[in-house]
Amino acid sequence: MRRHNYVFGALCATAALTLCACGTGDHANTPDSPSYTDVQNILQRLTTTDGAPGALLEVSDARGRTVLKSGVADIRTRAPIADDSRFRIGSMTKMFVATVVLQLVGEQRVALDAPVEQYLPGIVEGNGNDGHDITVRQLLQHISGLPDYLDYLTPEQVLNDPLAHHDPLELVRIALDHPPLFPPGTSYAYANTNYLLAGLLIEKVTGRPYAAAIDQRIVEPLGLRATSVPGDAPTIAGDHPQGYGKQGNADPLDLTEFNPSVAGSAGGMISSATDLNQFLGALLNGRLLGPPELREMMATRPTGNSYHDAYGLGFQSTPLPCGGLYWGHDGGIMGFQVLGATTTDGRSATVMVNIYPGGGEAQEADIRAALATALCASSPANS
């Protein structure tokens, strides 16, 4: 998926693997909860036609929590996916980083329309890239014109040494060795480089690691027990599915353990569906940001894709087929593809599959369909 670009595609394995859909549903809601039969069917399609080993979706609304699953957590042991599974969330990390930056805006420690150079002097320069011309807002909205460092980091550089530490400044330099994509503010191009810089900005302003800021400002106040910024730690603590990747007809390759510093503040976090739904609901109902900062976050511009997404400041809106919008973010990182979103009336849903790269456009389409169908099924109009 080009949007978050964690496609480390040169994965080598052989032969074919037959996957079975082991659909289960753990309905924590009351007996009069809406039917999620259509959602379950999409999850089963993800684990059969699309080839994902397993899929999990959790939806939360005024009635409570519903968990739906299909497939397996581990293709070797055939173990089922645990309801409270933890997994890598990829670019959903950007919502957490943008929230911290906007909290600093609310505290008047950061100005959205100030140049990046004011906070990170001398870092954004070279080959026509200039931190004097790029604002904090433009970083958060992917309209800076900066190249994406992942466009120039080869699969071999990551997979040949999966436990290697990647310094964010070195990753930023990979991007800045190339000319800008366009003058700042004139177009939109999703680039993970923007959020590496946002993480560095948090550290410069607060004097603490960006991970500590996320913990202090979001994770601890909300009591998110399964959410962490692992830094260089290659493992996922607690119950978790194995994460896989595959290319073409090759067997899935286990990518569960690697050093996520290659993603850093652009995509390195771990969480669970329960925690993500709680975070999304708290974000949209104003528990984490003041009204002015939340309005800035939700001021979007179209991305130009076929799903009619519109991107704000680390927060994206997408039309729902039953009317209205959902707000959230997607994430793809080696081993996992995730999408989470919430609505203004308090419904939240998160879907995860434990393969990436994997099913390509069909997998993305079904992940989106599962989430939208679950949100529509949980609408009060369908209760």
Q: Facing residues of 87 across strands?
A: 271
Residues 70-106: tens digit of each pLDDT: 999 999 999 999 999 999 999 999 999 999 999 999 9
CA 367 to chain CA mean position, Å: 13
**Cα→Cα distances 230→93, 243, 263, 267, Å:** 12, 16, 11, 11
Residue 335 φ/ψ region, left for φ over 0, alpha for ψ in the -120 to 50 degree band, beta for the rest: left
* Model confidence band, residue 159 (pLDDT cutoffs 50, 70, 90): confident
Q: Active-site residues: which are they?
A: 91
Residues 36-62: tens digit of each pLDDT: 999 999 999 999 999 999 999 999 998
Beta carbons within 8 Å of 224's beta carbon, 6+ residues apart: 218, 271, 275, 278, 279
Structure tokens at 309: 């997404």
**Cα→Cα distances 10→3, 13, 247, 262, Å:** 19, 10, 7, 17
User: Coil, strand or helix: which one is 212?
Assistant: helix
Q: Is the pLDDT of residue 306 over 90?
A: yes
The rounded distance, in Å, linking the Cα atoms of 45 and 102 is 39
Its pTM stands at 0.91
Only one residue has tokens 């975070």, namely: 279
Residues 227-258: tens digit of each pLDDT: 999 999 999 999 999 999 987 788 899 999 99
Only one residue has tokens 């200039």, namely: 130
* Model confidence band, residue 301 (pLDDT cutoffs 50, 70, 90): very high
The answer to whether 77 and 49 are in contact (CB under 8 A) is no
Q: What is the pLDDT at residue 188?
A: 97
Q: What is the pLDDT at residue 248?
A: 78
The rounded distance, in Å, linking the Cα atoms of 316 and 314 is 7
Residues 251-282: tens digit of each pLDDT: 899 999 999 999 999 999 999 999 999 999 99
Domains annotated for the chain, with CATH where assigned, are 24-382 (3.40.710.10)
For the packed helices 360-377 and 37-46, what is the interaxial angle rounded to 10 degrees?
170
Q: Is the pLDDT of residue 24 over 90?
A: no
Q: What is the pLDDT at residue 157?
A: 82
Q: What is the mean pLDDT of residues 116-122?
A: 98
Kindly report the average pLDDT of the chain as a whole number. 90
Q: Facing residues of 25 across strands?
A: 68
Q: What is the mean pLDDT of residues 180-189?
A: 97
The rounded distance, in Å, linking the Cα atoms of 80 and 376 is 27
The rounded distance, in Å, linking the Cα atoms of 140 and 312 is 8
Q: What is the pLDDT at residue 34?
A: 59
The rounded distance, in Å, linking the Cα atoms of 51 and 149 is 29
Amino acid in the structure at residue 100? V
